Chain A
Amino acid sequence: MDYFFELFLGGLTRGSIYALIALGYTMVYGIVQLINFAHGEIYMIGAFTALIVISVLTMLGWNQIAILLIAAGAAVVYSSAYGYTMEKIAYKPLRQAPRLSALISAIGMSLFLQNYVLLAQTSDFLPFPALIPDFEFMEPIAHIIGSPELVILITTTIVMVLLTFLIKFTKIGKAMRATAQDRDMAQLVGVDVNRVISVTFIIGSATAAIGGVLIASHIGQINFYIGFIAGIKAFVAAVLGGIGSIPGAVLGSLVLGWTESFFTGYISSDYEDVFAFVFLVLILIFRPAGILGRSTSEKV
């Protein structure tokens, strides 16, 4: 039973890591209907920005908490700026183009950003300092769940609640929902669609940056490629939960985390990813729009 419980917690941590990235993915998809393939790269840039800020400030001898706050802030600001610029360059001119064109453009953006960081920084793995201290009150259960894991879990929950609140109850949220349903109609009734889409990308990128900093500090190392690997998994999770749905992204991520954890624990980690993908296919056969996705009926 203990073993089961530990695997459960392991899957929960893994799932909430996926969720932090999947949330931004799914939100952009929900509003713009675009697979933002470069979302993982925004996450990676967030982590790199934080690392650069931390290194510089540590050299200047600032105190730990100030560094942590400034680094996280810088990561959020820069990731949002990158997300905003990316949308303006690679997606905005393609609003009327076929979906496939936008996807290829996103793949191009992803390649560009990866190699941009590779060339401007390095191809090696860089150590990332542990930003979250080990809390005292966690000491008795530290061997089951560590402080960084706890912080990630809590952050994921907060981000999910905030995003849901934002979309359901604020004015911009209302505009977002209108844009998602029918872009032309929304424009007709006075919604500034360009602004809504920009805001969506900014918020999505900001969540990616938070994820980038927390996850990098949990894992302890980063390189230019982390965004791509994590991005693919987050994409799978978002589709599993029903892409476009915020609670769906979290649920999908947790389900994926648990699936992988239990499969590794009870069967074998050799085929962990194979099983994850087979599981995705099975779910989609029975629920073609994901677990929480609404299957829309065709309009003719």
Chain B
Amino acid sequence: MKNRLGQFLIVAVVFAFMAAGTAMAADTIKLGVAGPHSGDLASYGIPTIKAAELVVKDINAKGGVLGRQVELLVEDDVCKPEVATNTATKLVSEGVHVVLGHICSGATKAALGIYKDSNIPVMSPSATNPALTQSGDYPNFFRTIASDDAQARLEVDFALDVLKLKKIAVLHDKGDYGKGLAEFAKAFLEKDPRAEVVFYEGITPGAVDYSAVVQKIKKSGAEAVIFGGYHPEASKIVTQMRKKRMDTIFISDDGVKDDTFIKVAQKYAEGVYATGPKDVSSNPMAIAANEAHKKAYGADPGAFYLNAYSAAIALLNAIEQAGSTDYAAVTNALRTKDVETPLGKIRFDDRGDAIGVGFSMYQVKDGAYVELK
């Protein structure tokens, strides 16, 4: 008992000194990186670390920001709100100046309050929940990805203006992301007199089959399904619809615009529409960023890599422009000064959304997603 307590104390003291040690390590600019770096959602968080590492290496080689070197503080939040608050307090107590993250909307919301109280600007490459910027609760929050309602707007406009549909079913996976998106889609459709929502329900993710829901969609007479959620469920639903010989149009979101979807659903994926970030593959900075990743890690970059790359550039550029790490000056610089990033030239509006970052509609043609112009 006593021995164990002793060991614990030693460990605790060592950790405390380590924390104190990093805090005293003179005047570097501290860029925090937070997100899921372990667990089942790690694949969404790790590309952000790599992006930050590459940007920081680049900037430090050029002499740093304001003549100071940039130091990375990487912390895991496993995408869980309760862990994210620990992560945030850890970063704050280590004296972080700006934070790149968090990745999941729920974790971001939980952590933001802590950053707000400590006057630290936060920029997420991936948290798309509309309330983050629209509620006005978080003046310290910015993001380099468009919010879910923009995506829902695009899906609905596409269905009504381009496809000229009249009866639409809205489906979601009951998750934070999927349900939020589906609610916006439903609200937009209900406001528009041209179409009606004939069906609105949530499915249970991970279920072994969705035939009952598919039957119900068939019975509802919908011409198209707008689905909010991720690709594993989307591929099951599309496959079951096509096997039941339904040619209902399937429109979905960023979570489905993933090559795994096409690999799983195979021939049934043909013709599926999905929204995704605008194609920037012709942007020279994006090409350079992707090349740098391939050179450093020997593989193609993962999810939200370019968004994270742009966010890191935007944050460090704002500190440079502001001339200090002062909260008011940095946020002001983010809102007023344009910055050249792999996503194009961006600036942030009063709510924290990036101006000039948006979505386009893609369609699966011959086994690949093609951007529709």
Contact = CB atoms under 8 A, between A and B. Distances in A.
A–B touch (CB < 8 A): the answer is yes
Question: Which residue among B174, B203, B264 has the maximum number of chain A CB atoms within 10 Å of its CB?
Answer: B264
Given A14-B208, A17-B208, A270 B213 contact: no
Question: Which residue among A9, A125, A143, A146 has the maximum number of chain B CB atoms within 10 Å of its CB?
Answer: A125
Nearest to B202: A270
B243 A17 contact: no
B243 A273 contact: no
A11 B174 CA distance: 22
A18 B208 contact: yes
B209 A272 contact: no
B204 interface: yes
Main secondary structure on B side of the interface with A: helix
Contacts of B231: 125
A265 B209 contact: no
Interface stretch (A103-111, A186-194, A198-206, A225-233): A225-233
The interface size bin for chain B is 20 to 34
A9 B263 CA distance: 28
Contacts, number: 90
Interface stretch (A45-53, A91-99, A214-222, A292-300): A214-222
Contacts of A17: 208-209
Contact of B244 (A143, A265, A269, A270): A143
A60 to B, nearest CB: 21
Given A221-B232, A268-B201, A269-B202, A13 B260 contact: no
B219 interface: yes
A118 interface: yes
Contacts of B202: 269-270
B331 interface: no
Question: Which residue among A14, A144, A221, A273 has the maximum number of chain B CB atoms within 10 Å of its CB?
Answer: A221
A142 B245 CA distance: 9
A123 B264 contact: no
A221 B258 CA distance: 14
Interface string A1-27: 001001101110110011000000000
A219 B243 CA distance: 12
B42 A221 contact: no
B328 to A, nearest CB: 41
B212 A127 contact: no
A98 to B, nearest CB: 25
Interface of B: 39-43, 174, 201-204, 206-209, 211-213, 215-216, 219, 231-232, 235-236, 239, 243-245, 260, 263-266
Contact of A6 (B39, B201, B209, B215): B215
10 contacts: A6-B211, A10-B212, A13-B209, A17-B209, A124-B260, A127-B260, A225-B206, A226-B206, A269-B204, A269-B213
B215 A7 contact: yes
Contact of B206 (A9, A10, A229, A268): A229
B208 A270 contact: no
Contact of B264 (A3, A220, A273): A220
A220 B235 contact: yes
A223 to B, nearest CB: 8
Given A125-B232, A142-B243, A270-B201, A225 B40 contact: yes
A32 B266 CA distance: 44
Contacts of A142: 243, 245
B244 to A, nearest CB: 5
A230 B219 CA distance: 28
A272 B40 contact: no
B42 to A, nearest CB: 6
Contacts of B264: 125, 127, 220-221
